[in-house]
Amino acid sequence: MIHPQTFGYFCREAMINFKRAGAMTYASIGVITVTLFIMGIFLLLIVNLRLAQDVLIKKASIIVYLKDGLPTETIQSIQTNIGRQVNQASQIIYVSKQDALEGFKKELGQQEDILSGVQGNPLPAYFEIKLTPSKRFSWERLKKIAVAIEGMEGIEGVDYGQKAVEVIGTITDVVRMFIIGIGFILGLATLIIISNTIELALFARQDEIEIMKLVGATPWFIRCPYLLEGMIHGLISGILSIGLLWLIYHFGLLKTLAANPIFLFLPQMEFISWQMMSILIVSSGFLGCLGSLLSLHYFLKSNRE
Amino acid sequence: MIQMRHITKVYEKGIQALNDINVEIGRGEMVFITGPSGAGKTTFLKLIYAETKPTSGLLFVGGKNVSSLASRDVPYLRRRIGVVYQDFKLLYQKTVFENIAFALRVISLPSAEIYKRTIKVLNIVELTHKKDAFPHQLSGGEQQRVAIARAIVNDPVLILADEPTGNLDAGMAANIMNFFMETNHQGTTVIVATHNKEKALKMGTHVIHVDSGQIVG
């Protein structure tokens, strides 16, 4: 347990280092902030891609097209079989060939004439399944249901918005891979920048550290102020980068989207969650500590041969 | 206090600093290590405060085997030893008071205790009136007294001084030597390394003369 007086000493020393490094401190915080900001943009992207995918899945309905000329009993048995695949809350609506045509005509409105050249009724009868998905409903589950229904007898085809969801899914996967890669590189960059800044602080106080060792300060006592300094670097950068991201999100992105009607089809957007923000800040603080520890490791290496 | 048994120290690239040293220094002794530059005096002291390890041989300080001391135990050994250098090794951006208190602060003593002890040693080295001055505002002799105050503030059982008067004129050197003698009279073991053999002999105490890494008398 650290004595409050000792902790006060560590904080004071860390602040002294912080001030002494001056321009170097600001430069390092600036660069790390930009680094974390870039990371934040990708996180924002992935959050919203996931959100879009979620919205699509939650709204999902399955359209089951039937082959022409099926006897009523077959249609009924298909409905029963579909009912077994989905949960009880889901609605299964039968739309006959005739109803489908009527519906289509209604949609066309005044342009109904287009159909005048068409012989008979080209539209198939279909079931519309309105799913009431539970919270944990996933894309995989939807796909499984659709595939099971498609395998039934008398089914022409199944449509469940697979294209849109699959495209978003692929993008999400690519972005996720990218985040892992770029996160590694940016993390390493942060580590090196902090480690260099701390090393300069260590060089500036070389004499002091030597005397500390000689009068019997433990290595941890010597390290603590520098670890704290590295951590403060990381934390400040983390907070600044999130602030910057929030500003750009609210006053840049959302304003632009609202002003352009082409983006109206986009679902609701979301900022990164509190948890994600905390993780970003805490991990940058941790990186700061680690960077410090690295330079301390080389600096304090005992020269006792 | 100190026992050296067949101590040999060879630095990197085969530079031999000490060769088969056997020394016994008793508690409360005042000892001078003399010899020309490069004779091994500094290495002799460095071995004692565990700044360097012997290549071979056994070294005991206050009953502790320092030759095989773990790194984590080194700080605790040093808290019982006060070291004084030729170049003082003071922190120039700290005041006299802070320089001395520093040695207590880094071993996490309570503030009140730090104040009490620092004032006490300032008194001993007669620098109370200069406690708020910065080292560059002091004479060489005064700076060395600050360094001595820092070395004794922790009540060490052993004081090591490496050419403590090397940078001082004769008057100040005598003054500093008197401080060491007085500290020794209080019961502290004092080891002073100096190249000035005559002066050491005049002090009439235990003198160990080293040359080329060996004891020659």
Q: What is the DSSP string of A89-132?
A: T-EEEEE-HHHHHHHHHHHHGGGGGGGGG--S--PPPEEEEE--
* Residue B59 pLDDT: 94
Note the pLDDT tens digit of each residue in B168-190.
788 888 888 888 898 899 899 99
Nearest Cα residue in chain A from B100: A215
User: Would the pLDDT of A265 be above 70?
Assistant: no
* Residue B191 pLDDT: 94
What is the ipTM for the molecules in this complex?
Answer: 0.84
- Give the orientation angle of helix A162-204 with respect to helix A23-58, to 10 degrees: 160
Residue A55 dihedral angles phi and psi, to the nearest 5°: -60, -45
60-99 of A, contacting B, C-beta below 8 A: none
Mean pLDDT of the A134-140 span? 68
Does residue A272 sit in the same domain as residue A207? yes
Which of A49-53, B18-22, B105-109 is most confident?
B18-22
Does residue A178 sit in the same domain as residue A255? yes
Does residue A224 sit in the same domain as residue A278? yes
User: Would the pLDDT of A38 be above 80?
Assistant: yes
Residue A132 belongs to some domain of the structure: yes
B-chain CB neighbours of A8 within 8 Å are none
Confidence of residue A175 (pLDDT cuts 50, 70, 90): confident
Domain holding A122: CATH number? 3.30.70.3040
* Residue A130 pLDDT: 81
- Mean pLDDT for chain B? 90
Mean pLDDT of the A203-223 span? 87
Distance from CA of A195 to the nearest CA of B (A): 24
Does residue A20 sit in the same domain as residue A76? no
Confidence of residue A304 (pLDDT cuts 50, 70, 90): low
Does residue A149 sit in the same domain as residue A191? no
Note the pLDDT tens digit of each residue in B31-51.
999 988 888 899 999 999 999
Nearest Cα residue in chain B from A208: B91
Rounded to whole angstroms, the Cα distance separating A267 from A62 reads 20
Question: Distance between alpha carbon A209 and the CA centroid of its chain, in Å?
Answer: 44
Q: Which of A207, A217, A305 sits opposite B107 (nearest CB)?
A: A217
- Mean pLDDT for chain A? 82
The residue out of A138, A160, A182 marking a domain boundary is A160
Residue A19 belongs to some domain of the structure: yes
Residue A35 belongs to some domain of the structure: yes
Mean pLDDT of the B68-89 span? 90
User: Would the pLDDT of A303 be above 80?
Assistant: no
Residue A11 belongs to some domain of the structure: yes
Do the Cβ atoms of A304 and B78 come within 8 Å?
no
Residue A305 belongs to some domain of the structure: no
CB A146 within 8 A of CB A63: no
Q: Which of B53, B76, B78 sits opposite A214 (nearest CB)?
A: B78
Note the pLDDT tens digit of each residue in B92-134.
888 999 999 989 988 888 889 999 999 999 998 889 999 999 9
The residue out of A131, A160, A189 marking a domain boundary is A160
Which one of A208, A213, A214 would you mutate to disrupt binding with B, by most B Cβ within 10 Å of its Cβ? Answer: A214
The residue out of A160, A189, A219 marking a domain boundary is A160
Does residue A17 sit in the same domain as residue A76? no
* Residue B189 pLDDT: 94
Residue A34 belongs to some domain of the structure: yes
Distances (CA, A) of A286 to A219, A231, B130: 20, 6, 44
* Residue A235 pLDDT: 93
Does residue A120 sit in the same domain as residue A73? yes
Complete DSSP assignment for chain B: -EEEEEEEEE-GGG-EEEEEEEEEE-TT-EEEEE-STTSSHHHHHHHHTTSS--SEEEEEETTEEGGG--GGGHHHHHTTEEEEETT----TTS-HHHHHHHHHHTTT--HHHHHHHHHHHHHHTT-GGGTTS-GGGS-HHHHHHHHHHHHHTT--SEEEEESTTTTS-HHHHHHHHHHHHHHHHTT-EEEEEES-HHHHHHTTSEEEEEETTEE--
User: Would the pLDDT of A18 be above 80?
Assistant: no
B-chain CB neighbours of A222 within 8 Å are 106
Residue A263 belongs to some domain of the structure: yes
Confidence of residue B87 (pLDDT cuts 50, 70, 90): confident
Does residue A29 sit in the same domain as residue A82? no
Helix (H) or strand (E) holding A293: helix A274-300
* Residue A289 pLDDT: 92
Q: Which of A218, A221, A304 sits opposite B52 (nearest CB)?
A: A304
Confidence of residue A267 (pLDDT cuts 50, 70, 90): low
Note the pLDDT tens digit of each residue in A103-115.
888 888 777 777 7
* Residue B213 pLDDT: 86
Q: Which of A5, A207, A217 sits opposite B75 (nearest CB)?
A: A217
- B76 vs B201: which has the higher pLDDT: B76
* Residue A238 pLDDT: 94
Does residue A154 sit in the same domain as residue A110? yes
Q: Which residue, A109, A107, A110, is CA-closest to A123?
A: A107
Does residue A99 sit in the same domain as residue A217? no
Does residue A40 sit in the same domain as residue A80? no
The parent domain of residue A107 ranges over 61-160
* Residue B27 pLDDT: 93
* Residue A262 pLDDT: 63
Does residue A36 sit in the same domain as residue A86? no
Distance from CA of A281 to the nearest CA of B (A): 31
Mean pLDDT of the A261-287 span? 81
How many folded domains does chain A comprise? Answer: 2
Residue A172 belongs to some domain of the structure: yes
CB B75 within 8 A of CB B51: no
Confidence of residue A261 (pLDDT cuts 50, 70, 90): low
* Residue B46 pLDDT: 93
Rounded to whole angstroms, the Cα distance separating A223 from A296 reads 7
User: Would the pLDDT of B200 be above 80?
Assistant: no
Which one of A11, A13, A205, A211 would you mutate to disrupt binding with B, by most B Cβ within 10 Å of its Cβ? Answer: A211
